[in-house]
Amino acid sequence: MVLTTEKVLVTSRGKPSCRDGVDLANVWTAPGSYNWSVTNSDNGGKTCDQVVDISISRGLTVFGQIATTPWWAMPSDTPTTTLTSSASAGQTSVTVASTSGFQVNRCVRLQDGADGGSNVEAKQISTIPNSTTLTFTAPLQRGYSTGSNARCTQLKSPLDSNGQLVDERHKWPPDNQYATAFQSACQEVASHFSTRITWWEFWNEANDNVGWHNGSSGGSEYATWLVRSSNGVKAGNASAKVSVGGMLGFNANTQTWLNTVRSGAQSSYDGIGLHPYAAAGADPIDTAALDSLRSNMNSNGDGSKPILANEYGWKLSELNDSEATQAARVADALTKLRAGGPGWNLLMAAYNAITDVTGANFGLCSNASPNPQKRQAFFQFQAMAPSLTYKMPVVSVV
């Protein structure tokens, strides 16, 4: 998992907060195994605990997010083959029954034992030198025996037009054989942060194919994994709350998606996330989407649950690179969010982002690490939320 302080938050309930994403891809190293000492460049080289503790030390309430699947737990693609010769840790190749269908640069899962077992890892294929050998870009971390349970399976890891690996771990829940292990991982996360994080959001923009592999048609699958995540989180921290991950907009397809999620997981979530992004020429936030979501919730048994507006903002490039326009939209957005609309019941609202992200100048500041340059919008935000802005974490962005 990687925790990254990526958003500035100001809550309608008056508490300065931040949204920290939990990327299961790094700390969850195998079923039942976790590495909390791992660091990540997106965190400025800090561990998960350091990121959270820095945020809390600056007076922020942390909202957590659980998302992204480790390579070794990714759903399988065809083909699967058995190992015909044992392999030791440190080797860079394995001998298999057949390499038919495997592709260079694709990722594979090596596992030895029953489904869901802990002797597992993922490797990227560097070459396929013959019909019975796969060579990898990095040495094996574990040893593997032979037999029907010693398998090599190609994973959901497509290649682009140049034959390079496309990382879609943020779009896929784990392979079903790891369902129990995933729930245990969520329990571990919630327990680990039980005194520091109460609210957990499951996934990000899963109503759309930018965040879930089959987008708005995947509500039933998302609900299944939301239940597993919620069960794990609440086993790890009885006081924890879980929200549906922030939805990208709230059009008719998303309403259908949410109704499907609700039918399979309504008792497992305590709030619903929405990203009320708005076009540059419109209101600074999509108030119509907030109105529609609240009406939908009131009509379908979720009326007492809050909305988490966990992303909003604009690229400076969408505003003709005008810092003055960006600052004016910040002021307008904060005014509307604090007013709360017609009973929106907002728990929090997150501006995206503190500093620019790669390829997108959303930030209140430029991404000139370690000294981001403050824009006019930064000072506007600071003027309207002084208790929050001067305590903003500076541990990097996603």
What CATH code is carried by the domain that includes residue 145? 2.40.30
Kindly state whether residue 210 falls inside one of the protein's structural domains: yes
Q: What is the pLDDT of residue 382?
A: 82
Q: What is the pLDDT of residue 386?
A: 54
Distance CA 272, CA 253 (A): 16
Q: Are residues 234 and 142 in the same domain?
A: no
Q: Are residues 316 and 212 in the same domain?
A: yes
Domain encompassing residue 111: 76-155
DSSP letters spanning 135-188: EESS--SS-B--STTEEEEEES--B-TTSPBP--GGG-PPPGGGHHHHHHHHHH
Work out the number of other CB atoms within 10 angstroms of the CB of residue 118: 14
Kindly state whether residue 63 falls inside one of the protein's structural domains: yes
Q: Are residues 131 and 231 in the same domain?
A: no
Q: Are residues 116 and 66 in the same domain?
A: no
Closest CA to 270 of 224, 338, 201, 203: 201
Final residue of a structural domain among 129, 155, 181: 155
Q: Are residues 195 and 263 in the same domain?
A: yes
Kindly state whether residue 137 falls inside one of the protein's structural domains: yes
Q: What is the pLDDT of residues 275-294, one digit of tens each?
A: 999 987 788 999 999 999 99
Q: What is the pLDDT of residue 186?
A: 97
Q: Are residues 274 and 296 in the same domain?
A: yes
Final residue of a structural domain among 94, 124, 155: 155
Distance CA 210, CA 270 (A): 24
Q: Are residues 288 and 197 in the same domain?
A: yes
Kindly state whether residue 397 falls inside one of the protein's structural domains: no
Q: What is the pLDDT of residue 19?
A: 74
Kindly state whether residue 161 falls inside one of the protein's structural domains: no
Q: Are residues 208 and 304 in the same domain?
A: yes
Q: Are residues 55 and 92 in the same domain?
A: no
Q: What is the pLDDT of residue 23?
A: 66
Q: Are residues 239 and 309 in the same domain?
A: yes
Low-confidence stretches of the chain (pLDDT < 70) are 1-17, 20-23, 42-43, 368-369, 386-398
Q: Are residues 307 and 210 in the same domain?
A: yes
What CATH code is carried by the domain that includes residue 380? 3.20.20.80
Q: What is the pLDDT of residue 299?
A: 98
Kindly state whether residue 42 falls inside one of the protein's structural domains: yes
Kindly state whether residue 375 falls inside one of the protein's structural domains: yes
Q: Are residues 201 and 333 in the same domain?
A: yes
Q: What is the pLDDT of residue 61?
A: 84
Distance CA 65, CA 199 (A): 8
- The domain total for the chain is 2
Distance CA 178, CA 366 (A): 40
b vs e for 127-150, b when ≥16 Cβ sit within 10 Å of the residue's Cβ? Answer: ebeeeeebbbeeebebebeeeebb
